[in-house]
Amino acid sequence: MNKQSIIKNTEKFVKGKMSGEDSGHDWWHVYRVWKNAVHIGKKEKADMFVVELGALLHDIADFKFHNGDDKAGARVSRKWLESQKVDEQIIKHVCDIVNNVSFKGAGVKSGIKTKEGMIVQDADRLDALGAIGIARTFAYGGSKGREIYNPEIKVVKHKSFEEYKNANSTSINHFSEKLLLLKDLMNTKTGKKMAGERHKFLKQYLDRFLSEWDGKL
């Protein structure tokens, strides 16, 4: 099993599937998560083969684009990894990461249990924070026809995955329903450190947006 060859093939596979996607869940999102995961993984002394495969495949069939099916990603990942003759133990590990990496509501506990999974999850969450996270929020909201903001629609801290995936919120509400919660949900020491500045910028932007909305600036 040539690990570097498998990583290279997986990069090409994912890039071919996800290039040009317009909701902020495109190849370049995967690329950034991959690079963040490599950085965190080396600092945290993880199994880098699992980390890289998990990062590259984490959004290959996201539930948001597959009628809420949160097992679609693992099915696609398994089929691909089997075609690459990856060991079954590694396939199971990567599929577990793909199955559990996504945020599924403020009141829903993450199913991630391994160091490698925690690293990929942290890398994915970092891309939902800071300037990039803001850009992705509005890209996704636009792709789904969501309002930017409507003060009559209240923030909801979703208690179940069903409630979260079926919610019809606004892009600004998404800050409070997910993005601002992520800093305190980071798993690794490295991830927590990286999240701090991005969280601060996110909060500054939201405060500014709401001040302009109310005519205070």
Q: How many domains does the chain have?
A: 1
pLDDT at position 18: 85
Q: How far from 37 is each of 12, 21, 71, 109, CA to CA, in Å?
A: 18, 21, 22, 21
Q: 105 with 159: CB under 8 angstroms? A: yes
Q: How many helices (H) and strands (E) does the chain have?
A: 10, 0
Domain that holds residue 171: 3-213
- Cα–Cα nearest to 14, from 2, 32, 1, 26: 26
Q: For residue range 97-145, list pLDDT tens digits in order.
A: 999 998 888 888 888 999 999 999 999 999 999 999 999 999 999 988 9
- Of 138-147, 181-190, 191-200, the poorest mean pLDDT is in 138-147
Question: What is the rounded distance in angstroms from the CA atom of residue 210 to the CA atom of residue 215?
Answer: 9
Residue predicted with more confidence, 172 or 214: 172
Domain of 107, CATH number, reads 1.10.3210.50
Helix axis angle for 88-100 and 48-57, nearest 10°, is 50
pLDDT at position 61: 73
For the chain, what is the mean pLDDT? Answer: 91
pLDDT at position 166: 74
Q: With a cut of 70, say whether residue 66 has pLDDT above it.
A: no
